[in-house]
Structure 1
Amino acid sequence: MKKLLSLFILYASLFSASALAVSEQCQRIISLSPTITDTLLSLGLEENIVAGTRYDRLPKNSHIKEIGGMLDPNYEAIALLDPTIIFADLAKDSPQKRKLDMLQFNTHLISFSSLDTIKKSITEIGKICKIQSRATYKVDELNHALKNNYLSDYPLNILILYTYEGEDYLNQVPQRAAGKSFHQDILESTGSHNAYQGSLNAPIMSQESILMLNPDIIILLQGDQNKSLDETRSITIEKIYPFWQNLQSLSAIQNQQIYIMKGEPTFIASPDAVIATLKSLYQILYNHQITENSLSIKSIQQHN
């Protein structure tokens, strides 16, 4: 209890600092991705963000302006806001990066493609903005969550599929799977195995491919469309019973092990969103483990 209280006091002191506590370079920040915006918010930099993308989830009554999307930013609007730095998750040779360089904006590229790059990017933001203590705390918080949401010696074959609001996922199989990405890293950090082991990020899966993988559990991820930031980063979990033609022989369907996780954090790679997604995945897998253990004990008792 004392340790938890100490952590809370440390957290409150780190994130109560004003905008004046950051470096000059981070006085006027523009973010070019929802993940970057959410990461900046989690680091207490809301007052320093002057603009973000149309897809950002922002606190109510936020002053943060919109300057388009990551791939179609409004460069004139960016110039009028006079940013001191732009954080972007872009390739070095992308048209957007070349345009930003041509306009002589101070653009810093960071990546959130894996757990390692997420931690690295948090640390980089901390150094650039001179808020190393806040960044270190966030990385430690993420590491703590990874350590405490691991199921040892209980590997499961999991297939994660992406679905979107408005899709009829109960009757039509979502096509894109979680491949080599931060989602795969989150899944494997729980001790489970990603059923898809290819090199692609979000491969299109045929029904034949899914049958060949025959996962123990299928988990659908669905981001919501709420424009306001949910500071609790809440995710709802629901067991579903889809009517997927030609897939009824799957172990996951036969054993009624198909779930959907709904909430914006499921699609975002910021530290707070990753922790929320990790905990929700762990809850599904832990409950599955408890159920399987109970069935095993019941089977042994009946046999005896």
Structure 2
Amino acid sequence: MTTLENDHLRVVIQPKGAELTSIFHKPSGIEHLWQADPSIWGWHAPNLFPVVGGCLNNQLLIGGETYPIERHGFTRQSVFENTESTRTHAIFSLRSSDATRVHFPYEFEFQIIYELDGPKLTVTYRVVNEDEQTIFFSVGAHPAFAVPFKAREAYEDYFLEFEKAESLETHMLSSGGYFTGETKSVPTVDGNKLPLTKHLFDADALVFKNLESRRVTIRSARHDQRLSVDYLAFPYLGVWAKPGAPFVCIEPWLGCADSEGKPRPIQDKEAIQQLAEGKVFDAAFTITVS
């Protein structure tokens, strides 16, 4: 385990998946990350690469060949190397190998960089193309934040507050986790507040593709403690929880699940990223506790 710490936050990251396992707010004594109860949902904050969501037939089509790939990719199951670490900064690295080439036939280095600065934790995804061709990929985050923050509070005391007024529209998912092409409006309060309820996610994740906001904040109607996620580099946002579970995931994405129908080659997948030979890709989001 790697621990980062300052006067505001103590953050713990495990080698498997380079996954956050704790975001502890020291002034309030509140643990803000879901503690991965395996009987409900056994993850804290998986990192998603080289796909986000599910691929039709659990396959990637690359260069006319098919490659098996699980939902959200293989990195959440992979062991990363901690290549650099200070009291407030750490870099984790996963390089292409025989194990990754079974699923994703490119040469790459995938880094996850964690940086503490006051009450802010910045997470940067860095992809280095070490191949002799353009590579294609998706990348995203899936952190689960514990709700409620405090004892004797209810889940329904909380809401998500978007940075701007939004006409929220979620893109519907099939039972297999693929987009159906249908959308549904999601009611808000005061134009920018989405109340959290135990049944909000009965039909799976809310997937927003056209938000104006680049920040969403978890807030309570009973106090002013809050947690914000800023996702300037990520055009898609997923919001999800196991129905009835005491957490909510706020998921910045550069990529998304496939749509029902015929599989597409990787370069034609929705929201796919491409990176030329020898180039480096960076995308960051920030978690702030206040």
Larger radius of gyration: 1
Q: Which has the higher contact order (CA 8 A, sep 6+)?
A: 2
Instruction: Decide which structure has greater strand share.
Output: 2
Instruction: Decide which structure has greater helix share.
Output: 1
TM-score norm. by structure 2 comes to 0.25
